[in-house]
Structure 1
Amino acid sequence: MIEHSLGEFEELVLLMVAAHHDEAYGVLILENLEEKLGKKINISAIHVALKRMENKGFVKSRFGGITNERGGRRKKFYAITALGKRVLDNQYALRTSIYQQIPKISFS
């Protein structure tokens, strides 16, 4: 079985793509991650992660229509693929299994 790698930042971006199913785009992902993380993120980092994940087959993209609001440019929307969802599920299972190994420690 092929092992698919997913970095921490890619995982966060992929989670946002999945959360906004088929309506996710760069700026929306950026704004949501900045809100959740409480820190500034460079839009280029979002676009690089999306491109890398599209090359891996974790997301697919489509262009929206041309709008005057965007100066005639089209918005690029992303959706998670079945492979991307399986990779997220595997990451979740792995993190959960490791977390459950933490002994019950009282810090009070």
Structure 2
Amino acid sequence: MEKEHLGELEELILLLVVMLKNDAYGFAIRKALKSQAGRMVTIGAVHGTVNRLEKKGFVESNMSDATEVRGGRRKRIFTVTASGKRALERSRELKLSLWMQIPEFSISNNS
């Protein structure tokens, strides 16, 4: 399971879940995708992706307490698991390794 590939949207959502911390629920993730990555996705795409990430063991979810602001409804809050953090680290390392192998893009040549 730990060797599973991360798609681009999966990686972005995992990063946003880490960033949003206790506010990582569907609508907030969708809003952050737009503001942070310039990506417009449907709430269904967000939910489909977090469900897939949960099935892979990269996120966990828990229901928040009900709030009056939401008409008594609860939010499904996501957190990244240790496996999810390792998947992000592997993805970062792979990409950095590939970038460094392209002379015109390597960090050492941009100085």
* Global fold match (TM > 0.5): yes
Q: Distance in 1 between matches of 2:67 and 2:19?
A: 25
* AA matched with 2:63: F
Q: How many residues align?
A: 106
**Offset of 1:17 from its aligned partner?**
0.5
Partner of residue 7, structure 2? 7
- For normalisation by structure 2, the TM-score amounts to 0.87
CA distance in 2, matches of 1:70, 1:22: 16
- In structure 2, do the counterparts of structure 1 residues 2 and 29 end up closer, same or farther at CA, with 3 Å as the change threshold? closer
8 Å CA contact retained: 2:54, 2:60: yes
CA RMSD after TM alignment: 1.8
So what's the TM-score if we normalise by structure 1? 0.89
- Which structure carries more helix by proportion? 2
Sequence identity (%): 42
Gaps of 5+ in 1: none
Question: Does structure 2 retain, via aligned residues, the 8 Å contact 1:23–1:79?
Answer: no
CA contact (8 A) 2:2 2:83 kept: no
The equivalent residue for 1:53 is: 53
Equivalent residues of 2:2, 2:87 under 8 A apart? no
- CA spacing shift, 1:2–1:74, aligned 2, 3 Å: closer
Larger relative strand fraction:
1
Q: Which runs of 5+ in 2 are unaligned?
A: none
Equivalent in the alignment of 1:104: 104
